[in-house]
Structure 1
Amino acid sequence: MMFCRLQSRTYFPGSGCDCLNAAYALVVNFFLFSTGCDSFISGSCGLTHFLQATLLKACLQLPLLFLILYGPHEVTVRVCLCPFISLIMVSIVKAAVGGLMDVCRANNHLRGFLHNHLKIFAAGMKTYEIPPDYSNVVLPAKPKLKFLNKVPNLKKAKKEMKKLRDIQGPAKAANAFTVGQYAIVAMGGGYLHWGHFEMMRLTINRKMDARTTFARWRVNAPYKPVTRKGLGQRMGGGKGAIDHYVTPVRYGRLIVELGGKVELGEVESVLTEVAKKLPFPAKVMSREDLEALKRVHADMEQNNQNPWTFKQIVQGNMLGIRKVLSPFDLHNHGRFTGKFHLPARV
């Protein structure tokens, strides 16, 4: 097998470079030679004895022939390589350097080795978002949700009828933000029991950071009585006794409001977990999301291309539809069916 001589360097003792550093320099120089570069990288004087031995071991794994000639006053290092290996020299050198990095990483020498000998320069373009300004946010003295009573403090409890209109139609109160930035918004009607209040209070208070976040109730404590008769009773006998109290909720009402020096991504998982456990459909929204939802409904009414809307059909009393509609349907233009909301209805 014929060998071709690639490089030859002569180093004198006392010049700061020994044969190991010379071998390292020749390997790097050969890599530059195989890639078409003309520059030469000289040996470094900062290698420790451990790195010198590790480097020589990694270099000896290459299909190279190191001829180290020791003279009386000089040391000559020559590198020889077979002609056909020059085509795959880039991959071989890369594998050798990777093995050397693994050895150095195992012995905590990777940082110094990379910073001193394998400097990789990278250039890129990055765009950083400006963090929000919380200078105007004032945290209250008690940031957590307070405990709500299970039974209202009344002198004499009075029984009430069902009054399903309490959960029908859109909410007329607590349908806009006050001091917070994020909230759980009801997307349908329903009743909140005391157990739902405790679930929301415990989940939010445990998982939120009271140093940067505060929470506020937007619904009242249970106040509407629900009666129930015991099992095994005959028909009649009047209305049953009060069993528990509930809070009626309509579409668009805010249940819990959060604010402070916090972004939506930090509290969205907690609010979503709470919203899934409520007895009616609910959604986590911010101030911007709620305004965008209102703009979507207004845009649907303004840019509607279908002339036969529910409002036009009812005003024209087409097919005598007025005799089967209730005042509730006339007032809300058919956008609600009981406690359910129809978002596609214009």
Structure 2
Amino acid sequence: MAKAGKSDLKLFALNTSRELGEGISKTLKIPLSKHEERDFEDGEHKIRSLENVRNGDVYVVQSLYADDQQSVNDKLCRLLFFIGSLWDAGARQVTAITPYLCYMRKDRKTKPRDPVTTRYIGTLFEAVNTYRILTMDVHNLQAYQNGFRCRTEHLEAQELFAEYFAKALGQEELAVMSPDAGGVKRAEQFRQRMERATGQSIPLVFLEKIRSKGVVSGETVVGQVEGKTVIIIDDLISSGTTLARAAKACVEMNAREVYAAATHGAFLGKAAEVLQEKTLLEIVITNSIPPFRLPEQLINQKVKVLDIAPLLGEAILRLYNGGSLIELMDPIDE
């Protein structure tokens, strides 16, 4: 990779995404720019750059998930306030690097008078003069692209997953599974990548899923999994119940082994208990959300975390130099 050569490229990482920012910094071969975050006794906070950003092309890393330090709303406010301050300080353009972008699942009205929070988040970023947002595997890509008036860029982890599974399972007879009908397109794209990576013909299957009043049901597997090693692909793991149901259903239909992959591992509620399900051998995620909610023993036994810092660093370099993100993602022709 070529080194970013111009001094106007600035990379910041807010405190809770510092580790990811340092990985991106190593990829770009530039140091993280310095900033200050101060918390006040009344719960308010201040954040500012400690470097000159005038006329700079500035990138700010902040993955927007709640943790034991800050709520998702806290992280969102800090990012928005910082972007606003960088604009006020004369930055030419500011790009938000948000590997996990909050509130993207609330993209339409499902009940009377429901909020369309995805669109409201877009309005907030626009209000502080965000030039561009770069995120990964949003729940509804069309809603993300339509809900923001600033530039929207989108990356996928599928190639990372395909490389990992092709190396680990490439000699086995595989099937790719969507845990519900709504994720079939995502699973089909991944299936094609796996076929290309392994050179074998791989079937696509999906699980019947019915959600009513917060209760999920349905155990019918549509497709053939008998004797195959199944890879379940999704964008997000929340409580893990969907994955556990899918894995159990596959084993009951005589699948040989079951693995799962999802870009964002939130692992909420009783996920640690649910994912103890013996039929699910391994869960592969990225560090868009570190698996801090899971016990270390479970992580060591069952969870593989893939690093997205090199991918994000390459994307930033291409945005800075006017390169192609489409070529970076190596898309499959539809």
Decide: shared fold, TM above 0.5: no
Q: Which TM-score applies when normalising by structure 1?
A: 0.22
Higher strand fraction: Structure 1 or Structure 2? 2
